[in-house]
Structure formats: C-alpha cells, structure tokens
C-alpha cells in the first residue's frame, strides 16, 4: 500500500453506527466518505444477512438512494443510520403464504373477497455450524429450510446432500417453512451430518 493510499484512508475513513430497527441491534461499520449507500448496504448484508434489496437506509429522517455518496450526507464520525427492512404482503392459500408482486394489479394476483393478507415478517435466527461457529441469518417467515441450505452453500460451500437441519430437536426439512416449523427470532438451527445419531430426515417426529 502506498503512502498516498494510506493518507487517503486516514482522511476519508469514518466510523458509523447502524441501527437495525426490526431486530433492535446496532452495529459499527468502518466506511469511507467516498463510499456509496449501496456499499454500506453490502456490508450490512455481509455482516447481518439482510439482503440489499430488503434494506431501506435512513439518515436524518431521509431515505438514502443506493447511488448517494456518504460525503453528500454531511456526515461526522459516529453518526447513526437507521435500517428498515421491507415487508412483503402475502396471500394465504392452503396454509402457505404466497408473496404479492409490487408490479401487478390486485385483480391479477387471484385475491378474492374476504381473503386475508398478512405482512411477510423477517426472522433473525442463528445457525450453529459443524465447527461450532454461529452464523446470523435473516429470512422471511415463509421461507423454507431450502432457503437456509442455499445460504449455507453460498457462505460455507457445503452441499445440502451432506447434512440436515434440526430445530429444537426436530428435523427441519427443505420444504418446511420457518413459521410452520416454529423457528422464531433469536432461536437456533443446528447442522448435523447425515451419519450423526440425531433423528434422520426420514425418521422425522410427527
């Protein structure tokens, strides 16, 4: 690293606080004033598992667009940003939540009179890996066990054929929804190798 790049980081670097309101958690990030809002969202996604598209970043009561530069926000050291998480409306069908699309008209999404629409809430939970590490994940309550496995493959490069998931002593199958299986905020999901002594998926308790 050259002296000029060191000088740039010293003068451009800043620490900010990010309050993630849905889970009541505040984290610290070291960023640059020349960074964009999208850069900040990417760091939040990496640290907290909240998808960039689900984040709404607020500062001083204003929503920030992804292409905004932090230096345009009149930032000082240790200023606090607020993160809101987008909610998706769902239509219940045979006990399954089906997400409604923002881009479609209501009549095009098979909504009938007296149908119930529910907000699709986010759940922050923890996954304990085979090595004993704890990963934080944020998913929708109608996401399935497969969504967890997809995230694990992305983060850990581990194939779903090698393990299965357990929550509170019960196997969490790929097709099980988090809500239907009782996965709540701050609860833990465990990874088990398929040759372990824990109840196997084909022996799932009823």
Sheet holding 170-172, edge to edge: 134-140, 122-128, 188-193, 163-167, 170-172
d(CA 107, CA 109): 6
How large is the average pLDDT for residues 33-49? Answer: 88
80 falls in which pLDDT band (50, 70, 90)? confident
Q: Domain boundaries in the chain?
A: 3-85, 87-120, 122-206
Domain range 122-206, its CATH number among 3.90.850.10, 3.40.50.2000, 3.10.20.90, 3.20.20.140: 3.10.20.90
Share of the chain above pLDDT 70, in %: 69
How large is the average pLDDT for residues 123-148? Answer: 88
Rounded to two decimals, the pTM is 0.48
Report whether pLDDT(148) > 90. Answer: yes
pLDDT at 22: 64
pLDDT at 10: 45
How large is the average pLDDT for residues 65-73? Answer: 88
How large is the average pLDDT for residues 31-50? Answer: 87
Residue 171's CB is within 10 A of a number of other CB atoms, namely: 20
pLDDT at 100: 52
* CB-count burial class (<10 Å; 0-12, 13-18, 19+) for 201: middle
pLDDT at 119: 52
pLDDT in tens, 16-40: 899 887 667 888 998 888 899 999 9
| 84 Cα distance to chain centroid | 12
DSSP state of 196: S
Report whether pLDDT(6) > 80. Answer: no
How large is the average pLDDT for residues 128-147? Answer: 87
Average pLDDT of the chain is 77
pLDDT at 98: 52
Strands 62-63 and 80-85: what pairing? unpaired
Q: Are 3-85 and 122-206 the same fold in CATH?
A: yes
pLDDT at 172: 95
CATH architecture of structural domain 3-85: Roll (3.10)
Sheet holding 96-99, edge to edge: 96-99, 88-93, 117-120
Report whether pLDDT(156) > 50. Answer: yes
pLDDT in tens, 82-129: 888 765 555 555 544 555 555 455 555 555 565 555 555 678 899 999
pLDDT in tens, 192-206: 998 754 554 555 544
Per the rule left: phi > 0, alpha: psi between -120 and 50, beta: everything else, 129 is beta
């Amino acid at each position: 690293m050259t002296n000029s790049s060191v000088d740039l980081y010293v003068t451009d670097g800043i620490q900010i606080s990010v309050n993630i309101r849905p889970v009541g958690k505040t984290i610290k990030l070291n960023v640059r004033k020349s960074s964009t809002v999208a850069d900040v969202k990417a760091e939040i996604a990496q640290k907290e598992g909240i998808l960039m598209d689900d984040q709404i970043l607020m500062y001083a009561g204003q929503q920030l667009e992804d292409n905004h530069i932090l230096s345009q926000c009149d930032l000082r050291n240790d200023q606090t940003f607020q993160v809101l998480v987008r909610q998706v409306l769902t239509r219940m069908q045979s006990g399954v939540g089906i997400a409604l699309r923002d881009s479609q008209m209501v009549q095009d999404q098979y909504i009938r009179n007296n149908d119930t629409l529910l907000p699709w809430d986010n759940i922050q939970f923890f996954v304990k890996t085979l090595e004993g590490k704890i990963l934080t994940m944020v998913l929708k309550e109608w996401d399935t066990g497969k969504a967890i496995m997809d995230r694990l493959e992305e983060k850990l490069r581990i194939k779903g054929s090698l393990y299965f998931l357990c929550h509170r002593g019960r196997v969490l199958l790929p097709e099980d929804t988090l809500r239907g299986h009782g996965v709540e905020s701050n609860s833990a999901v465990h990874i088990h190798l398929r040759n372990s002594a824990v109840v196997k998926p084909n022996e799932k308790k009823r």
